[in-house]
């Protein structure tokens, strides 16, 4: 029990802080934290595919878009906006969210043969094509997506509770619980469930099989592991994680816009899992927090940082550009000096050698020489020397 405590204590303390944060943090930090939660869920899914199975995917943004727009279409009612007819099925929002995740997984399953037959750079290029194809569909399918202007997102309703701003919000411990506070706990529950499930997968037989395929594909096939099937399953599971992240992003943004789900988002997710640490749930979360929070922090505190200009200023780097430069540099630094990413760095800090123990006092008062263990040579040498 004492050995498990150092491993259990940091996550438990972090969870306690996250549970209490809505009572102390403002709307800026809550919104930035929700974006980080959605990014962490998507990054965990991508790490299952790229970190555990060794399959390079650059199409994660496509599956986020599938999850976000599927939820909007399933939950929204048909309406007319600026002369354009927008379709919708008006399903209950929890049903729409679950179905949207299923649609994202189905889309991943349809693309899974790519993962079963391709690997490395070939798979990366093939999945990158999904992003460009998805952008074309999002801009052209106006009845479904709203086109270039996007579409409003129906708020989630759980057990009669509407997870959005209301005229008279409930007051808990003196804090009015609006939309962000309510969404916070939904996002936290989804993140904990996603991390718990992914850890179970990685520690179980499928996880060990995926690691074997990543490290020794030929040996895995010789041992009877169905390589193509496991790769396809990892691709579909990763897509479902992206679908969950897409639904949460849509609820936080309150509007889906095609421009967001482009190449930049796909590269952001690749940076998250590399910077955080490939093949681990904790690394995906750390990388997602770093990459997603950096633009928000630079936007808020850009006026106090050299070379960073306020949004819309004529000179200086925009916060988004500065953020990409910084985590691009972090990406290169991790590849060169920290193969384990931020999680590996944290593990190194925890494993730092302890300071040398003080010398034991000699009971005969002959000084404080440290006790040196006897050198063992041949068997019985130490006993013979003492006898002599």
In this predicted model, what pLDDT tens digit does every residue of 248-270 receive, in sequence order? Answer: 999 999 999 999 999 989 999 99
The better pLDDT of the pair 172, 157 is held by: 157
The better pLDDT of the pair 357, 200 is held by: 200
Residue ranges per structural domain of the chain: 5-350
Rg of the Cα trace of the chain? 26
The better pLDDT of the pair 82, 183 is held by: 183
Mapped onto helix, strand or coil, the DSSP state of residue 360 is coil
- Per the DSSP assignment, residues forming a β-bridge with 317 are 308
User: How confident is the model at residue 366, as a pLDDT?
Assistant: 44
The better pLDDT of the pair 266, 301 is held by: 266
The alpha-helical segments, DSSP class H, found in the chain are: 5-20, 27-47, 60-75, 93-117, 121-140, 142-145, 179-203, 205-215, 217-222, 227-253, 263-276, 281-301, 319-337, 341-350, 381-387
Residue 15 neighbours by CB under 8 Å, 6+ apart: 192
Residues 165-180: what's their mean pLDDT? 77
Residues 167-196: what's their mean pLDDT? 86
User: How confident is the model at residue 7, as a pLDDT?
Assistant: 67
In the chain, % of residues over pLDDT 90? 36
The better pLDDT of the pair 37, 7 is held by: 37
Inter-residue contact 186 to 38 (CB < 8 Å)? no
CATH of domain 5-350: 1.10.3470
pLDDT band at 365 (very low <50, low <70, confident <90, very high): very low
Mapped onto helix, strand or coil, the DSSP state of residue 171 is strand
User: How confident is the model at residue 4, as a pLDDT?
Assistant: 62
Residue 347 has pLDDT above 90, yes or no: no
What pTM was computed for the model?
Answer: 0.84
Mean pLDDT over the full length of the chain: 82
pLDDT digit string, tens, across residues 16-52: 888 888 888 888 899 999 999 999 999 999 999 998 8
pLDDT digit string, tens, across residues 186-242: 999 999 999 999 999 999 988 888 888 888 888 888 888 888 888 888 999 999 999
Which burial class, exposed, middle or buried, applies to 372 when counting CB atoms under 10 A from its CB (0-12, 13-18, 19+)?
exposed
Residue 271 has pLDDT above 50, yes or no: yes
User: How confident is the model at residue 353, as a pLDDT?
Assistant: 56
User: How confident is the model at residue 285, as a pLDDT?
Assistant: 93
User: How confident is the model at residue 315, as a pLDDT?
Assistant: 66
User: How confident is the model at residue 381, as a pLDDT?
Assistant: 42
| CA dist 176 → 61, 166, 171 (Å) | 34, 10, 4
> What's the CA gap between 179 and 75, in Å, rounded?
18
Inter-residue contact 95 to 107 (CB < 8 Å)? no
| CA dist 224 → 164, 209, 215, 227, 230 (Å) | 51, 10, 15, 9, 12
- Per the DSSP assignment, residues forming a β-bridge with 175 are 172
DSSP state of 82: T
Task: Out of 155-159, 163-167, 197-201, 380-384, pick the least confident.
Answer: 380-384
């Amino acid at each position: 029990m004492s050995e498990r405590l150092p491993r259990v204590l940091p996550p438990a303390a972090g969870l306690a802080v996250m549970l209490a944060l809505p009572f102390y943090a403002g709307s800026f930090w809550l919104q930035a934290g929700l974006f980080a939660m959605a990014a962490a869920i998507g990054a965990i899914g991508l790490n299952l595919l790229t970190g555990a199975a060794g399959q390079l995917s650059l199409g994660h943004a496509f599956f986020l878009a599938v999850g976000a727009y599927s939820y909007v279409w399933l939950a929204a009612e048909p309406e007319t906006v600026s002369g354009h007819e927008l379709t919708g099925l008006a399903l209950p929002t929890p049903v729409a969210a679950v179905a949207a995740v299923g649609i994202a997984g189905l889309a991943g399953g349809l693309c899974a043969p790519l993962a079963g037959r391709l690997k490395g750079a070939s798979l990366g290029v093939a999945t990158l094509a999904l992003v460009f194809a998805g952008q074309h569909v999002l801009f052209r399918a106006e009845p479904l997506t709203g086109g270039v202007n996007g579409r409003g997102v129906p708020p989630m309703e759980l057990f009669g509770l509407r997870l959005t701003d209301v005229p008279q919000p409930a007051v808990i411990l003196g804090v009015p619980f609006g939309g962000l506070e309510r969404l916070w706990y939904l996002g936290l529950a989804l993140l904990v469930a996603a991390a718990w499930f992914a850890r179970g997968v990685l520690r179980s037989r499928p996880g060990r099989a995926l690691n074997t395929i990543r490290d020794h594909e030929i040996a895995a096939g010789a041992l009877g592991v169905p390589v193509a099937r496991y790769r396809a399953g990892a691709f579909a599971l990763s897509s479902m994680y992206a679908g969950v992240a897409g639904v949460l992003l849509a609820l936080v943004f309150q509007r889906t816009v095609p421009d967001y789900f482009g190449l930049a988002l796909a590269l952001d997710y690749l940076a998250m899992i590399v910077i955080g640490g490939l093949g681990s749930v904790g690394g995906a979360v750390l990388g997602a927090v770093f990459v997603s929070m950096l633009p928000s922090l630079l936007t808020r505190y850009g006026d106090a940082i050299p070379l960073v200009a306020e949004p819309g200023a004529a000179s200086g780097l925009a916060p988004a550009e500065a953020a990409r430069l910084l985590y691009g540099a972090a990406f290169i630094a991790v590849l060169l000096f920290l193969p384990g990413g931020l999680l590996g760095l944290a593990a190194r800090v925890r494993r730092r050698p302890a300071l040398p123990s003080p010398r034991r006092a000699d009971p005969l008062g002959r000084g404080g020489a440290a006790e040196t263990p006897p050198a063992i040579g041949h068997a019985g040498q130490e006993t013979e020397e003492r006898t002599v």
